[in-house]
Homo-oligomer: A and B are copies of this chain.
Amino acid sequence: MHNGGVTTAPTARDAVPEACCTSLTSEALSVEDAQRFAQLLKAVAEPTRLRLVSLIAAQDNKEACVCDLTEPVGLGQPTVSHHLKILVDAGILHREKRGVWAYYSIVPGALERAAAVLSPGR
């Protein structure tokens, strides 16, 4: 792995938008919805990924490159890039390549929509 870049495939990216309209307690979940929601929640249900999202949110400009994140989480660049790719694929993070680095930011509304799966009307 070099310069922190990861390729982004939109595999599970549809999970977040679709999560807006059905929640866990509003009706009995279909097998398909349950699988989609579980995939979305699994993307964040991991300590390092939660910390990465949190660290990105805590940046002054709300974005970070891999170079900003390896030291705070105490992991190497390939591992951090792997976790970031999972979050991008789940639609939680946006990735933008600028120069030699990719910059990651939280997709507006993504965490709110993931939360809405668990609790629709807080």
Contacts and interface: CB of A to CB of B under 8 A. Distances in A.
A52 to B, nearest CB: 9
Size bracket, chain A contacts = 35 or more
A46 B118 CA distance: 12
A29 interface: yes
Contact of A48 (B34, B41, B114, B115): B34
A24 to B, nearest CB: 5
Contacts of A79: none
Given A24-B53, A27-B54, A28-B54, 9 more contacts: A24-B111, A28-B72, A34-B54, A38-B50, A41-B44, A41-B45, A41-B50, A114-B119, A118-B118
